[in-house]
A and B are shown apart, each in its own frame.
Chain A
Amino acid sequence: MAENQQVASIRPRPLSPHLTIYRWPVTMATSITHRITGIGLSFGAVALAWWLIAIASGPEAYQDFCAFASSWFGEIVLLGLTWSLAFHLLNGVRHLAWDMGFGFAVPTADATSWLVIVFSVLLACAAFALAHAGYGGFNR
């Protein structure tokens, strides 16, 4: 008996299956994306701080921020942040609904996953399309 226990403790313990062997349900994709967009939005907080500091520091600093924000790289970053916030916000509503006990049925969870994906992309693209069409800005 003692010998068997010894063997059992040496044998590698079973681990939960890793990502690579799953057929990806859409709910898994939204769950992972929620985390990734959360990390991404941490960098959004840096951009927001930069914007506020730029306004506080005067015209030159503000111009530097605007030059970055309107460069092609800046626009990609801002598009990513816009979509990340839209996704994290919409998917956050799903999480809060779950916490209150709603929407756990698999078809419901799948449907809300797709809703979040589609609407977050639509929202971010619409915001950028409208901005490029000249609809952004209160005072222009």
Chain B
Amino acid sequence: MSLETPLHRVQGLGAAHSGVRHFWRQRVSAAALLPLSIWFFWAAFGLIGASEVQALTFLTVSPLGIPLNAILMGIFVVILLYHMVLGLQVIIDDYIHSEGGKISLMLLVRAFALALGASSLFALLRIAGPV
């Protein structure tokens, strides 16, 4: 016997009111971050002690003739922040019990992610964008 109402079952949203969307997005972004994080480890290790010119060269010059590492960095930052928002939401859902606190903290997290993403991408465009 199910205690679900027919409407509830048909909506398929479950107790969290959001269905499996959040779960899937977190997994897909995690899978995307596996190779990107390995690339980032390699990049960060390679840039230890680099001069500004060396860092610029790393980001903008590639054998393909496109700023490959700057593009990868942009993708990395965007998916990283997306995964961060999803992950922090789980923590907020678990530990913040008042609806008002939950919503304000989530808005704060999203504003934080937006500020970081916008400034990182703006910096990357200044570094490697069409001048």
> What is the interface of chain A, defined by CB distance below 8 A to chain B?
35, 38-39, 41-42, 45-46, 48-49, 52-53, 55-59, 62-63, 82, 85-86, 89, 92-93, 95-96, 99, 127, 130-131, 136-140
| A55 adjacent to B91 (CB under 8 Å) | no
B50 contact set on A, CB distance < 8 A: 137-139
Binds A, one of B1-9, B81-89, B96-104: B81-89
Residues of B within 8 A of A57 (CB): 123
Determine the chain B residues whose CB is within 8 A of the CB of A131 once the complex forms: 45, 48
A136 near B123 (CB under 8 angstroms)?
no
- Among B27, B31, B77, B127, point to the contact of A55 (Cβ < 8 A): B127
Q: Among B73, B112, B123, which residue has its beta carbon within 8 angstroms of that of A53?
A: B123
Which of B's residues lie within 8 Å of A, judged by CB?
A: 27, 30-31, 33-34, 37-38, 40-41, 44-50, 52, 54-56, 58-59, 73, 77, 80-81, 84, 87-88, 91, 112, 116, 119-120, 122-124, 126-127
Question: Which residues of B lie under 8 Å from residue A56 when comparing CB positions?
Answer: 122-124, 126-127
Q: Residue of B at shortest CB range from A62?
A: B52
Residues of A within 8 A of B56 (CB): 55
Contact of B48 among A38, A92, A99, A136 (CB under 8 A): A136
**Cβ distance B96 to chain A, nearest Cβ, rounded Å:** 14
Q: Is the beta-carbon distance between A127 and B34 smaller than 8 angstroms? A: no
A selection of 6 A-B contacts at a CB cut-off of 8 Å is: A48-B120, A55-B56, A85-B40, A89-B34, A127-B41, A138-B58
With A131-B48, A139-B50: A92-B116 Cβ-Cβ less than 8 Å: no
Complex: chain A residue closest to B23, CB-CB: A99
